[in-house]
Structure formats: C-alpha cells, structure tokens
Amino acid sequence: MTCYRLAGQEFHLSCPVPELAAFEITGTQPGTAEKAAPFVSSSPFINKELISRTAGWVANAHRMVEIWSAPSGFLVRTEAGSDFTISPGGQEIRCASQGQAGGELNETDRQILLGPVLVLALALRATWSLHASAAIHNDNLILFLGESGQGKSTLAAYLANETNWRLVADDILPVTMDSNGVMAWPRFPQLKLPKQAQPGSDLPEQLPICTVCVLRDTGKDEMPGLELLPANRAVQVWLGHTAGTRMFPSDLLAMHLDFCAEAAGRMPVYRLTYPHRWDALPNVRKLLEKLF
C-alpha cells in the first residue's frame, strides 16, 4: 500500500499514483500513518446494494458511474473503467483489477480514482470537494464558484500574478467545518495544472475561508459588481457547487445539507458579475480588494 496525505487526511492506496507524488508520506515522517494500520477488509465484497447511478464527465468522457454499498465498504463502478473499493471510513482505496499483484493504473483508471473515487472517499470523512478556484490576498482566502466555462480558473490565475495575491486552487478544493469556521485544504492535486505548478504543495495544510464569490458573465460592457446573497440563496450555492453529491448515500446527503446550511451562515456569499474579458480583470481585482 502507498500512503498519501490529501486535504488533511491520510489514504492508503493499493498502488502509487504519479499525480499524487507530491503528497506521498512515509513512516519516517512525524504524525503519519505508521501509527495506524491500514484498513483490510476481512470479508469479500458481497451483499452489495446499489445506492446511486449517475452519468458524468469522468476521464475525458461521459460515463455512467454506479455506487454500491456493502458491509465491507463501497464499490465504485465506472463505465469502461476498473472497479474501485473504498473502506467504510474512506481510508483505504483499492483497484479491483489489480488483484493481489498491484501494478500501475492506466490513464483512465487514474482519472477515475482522482475523480469520483477520491471525492467519495473524502466525503466519507466529512470533507467536501468544491468545484472551485481560489486565491488568497494577504491572509484573505476567496473562493470562486461557477459553472464550467464561467472563468473560475482564468480569474484565479490572473490574480495570482498580481501583487499580494497567490493561487490556492484551480479546479477542486476540499473544505471542512470546525469551531474556527469553514476551512480549505489546498494540499490537493489540481489536475489541470502541471506538476511543477501545483499551488498546494508549499501552502499551509489548511486555510480559513473568508469569502465566496459566484461568477456570472454580464455579457455587456459593464463595470464589475458584487451582490451579497441572502442566506437561502447562499445555501443553494454551497449545495450546487459540491462535486459528487449525486453519488452520496442518504446519510452523506444529510450531512452535506447540514454543512451547507451552517457554512452559509458563517461567511458572506456574493454574486460577482463582470464581462468575461481579460481587460475587465483589473477592475475585478480592485473590487475584490475592497472587501478586506
């Protein structure tokens, strides 16, 4: 088994994954998994029950994904890919096609593991993966949410090149809740960025989130604007931009709803409108900096 520390959680994988190399840990490092034996299922994956079937963009194609539950954990079955099993607490992930021999995963299976499999494993540990980019201004972390093509990555990348700004996430950002507020966990692979450009490897393991902005293209030659959303709309924003919720069993859906309701009450959620043109971004930056 190979052990990685992702989003503040330790995972045992049945084989090494190149995209996770920066997050691999060993027993020689303090506070790592050497103190806890990895989960080993004592029973075969039998008496399984289908809990969800959904289609989504996985491994560069639209694929059907099924989630099965059994006493020994969860089975993730993806069209034209290998099956993966996840232990009940989410700490161990195995690829069924490897059998006892291990070996490297092909490109499709790696994308399945880094997508739906890891999102579900994190959710089993009350860590929710947002479709978000993020940037930090001085000590103030802003999350940018929006549908695909709304400019999340472009905005975060632009800000990262400005004074006192830094990139935190490009596409997926795990978040949790504790007594200190809503926390982001940037040590997580950003699959659209090359290895040398991964932002989380030298950031703190967790960062408090200050503000959330939902992006909307005005489609007009207008100045950027910020609109504070009411609590009920803010809850919808959190609900609608969490990855993998269609895979969740009922107990995880209830936990996620509670998280979203509390998160919406802990921090402001704004609608950020601006024409999605490169020359509009300096004014967006100035508007965002006025928040702090």
Read off the tokens for 36.
């806890």
Structural contact between residues 48 and 75, judged by C-beta atoms closer than 8 angstroms: yes
Comparing CA positions, the residue from 25, 34, 37, 26 lying closest to residue 187 is 25
Residue 215 φ/ψ, nearest 5 degrees: -85, 140
- Alpha carbon of residue 245 to chain centroid: 12
Q: What is the DSSP string of 117-165?
A: IHHHHHHTTT-EEEEEEEEEETTEEEEEE-STTSSHHHHHHHHHTSTTE
> Any long-range contacts for 170-174 (C-beta under 8 Å, 24+ apart)?
170/133, 170/199, 171/131, 171/132, 171/133, 172/129, 172/130, 172/131, 172/132, 172/243, 173/129, 173/130, 173/132, 173/133, 173/134, 173/143, 174/6, 174/7, 174/8, 174/122, 174/127, 174/128, 174/129, 174/130
Any idea what the Cα angle at residue 104 is, between residues 98 and 108, rounded to 5°? Answer: 90
Query: In the CATH hierarchy, which fold is given to the domain comprising 128-289?
Result: Phosphoenolpyruvate Carboxykinase; domain 3 (3.90.228)
CA dist 133 and 137 (Å) reads 14
Q: Specify the pLDDT at position 15.
A: 87
At position 70, the amino acid (one-letter code) is A
Comparing CA positions, the residue from 245, 243, 290, 246 lying closest to residue 270 is 290
Q: Specify the pLDDT at position 166.
A: 96
Residue 141 φ/ψ, nearest 5 degrees: -90, 125
The residues, any chain, with a CB within 8 Å of residue 202's CB and separated by 6 or more, are: none
Structural contact between residues 130 and 143, judged by C-beta atoms closer than 8 angstroms: yes
Radius of gyration for the alpha carbons in the chain, expressed in angstroms and rounded: 19
261 vs 202, which has greater pLDDT?
Answer: 261
DSSP annotation of 96: G
Q: Specify the pLDDT at position 102.
A: 55
Mean pLDDT of the chain: 90
Q: Specify the pLDDT at position 39.
A: 38
Condensed to tens digits (0 to 9), the pLDDT of residues 54-107 reads 999 999 999 999 999 999 999 999 999 999 999 999 999 999 876 444 578 999
Condensed to tens digits (0 to 9), the pLDDT of residues 208-257 reads 999 999 999 997 788 999 999 999 999 999 999 999 999 999 999 999 99
Q: Specify the pLDDT at position 236.
A: 97
Average pLDDT rounded to a whole number, residues 149-164: 93
At position 5, the amino acid (one-letter code) is R
**What does pTM read for this prediction?**
0.90
Average pLDDT rounded to a whole number, residues 266-288: 95
Domain residues of the chain, as ranges?
A: 2-123, 128-289
- Which residue do the tokens 């960025």 mark? 193
Q: Other CB atoms closer than 10 Å to residue 220's CB: what's the count?
A: 8
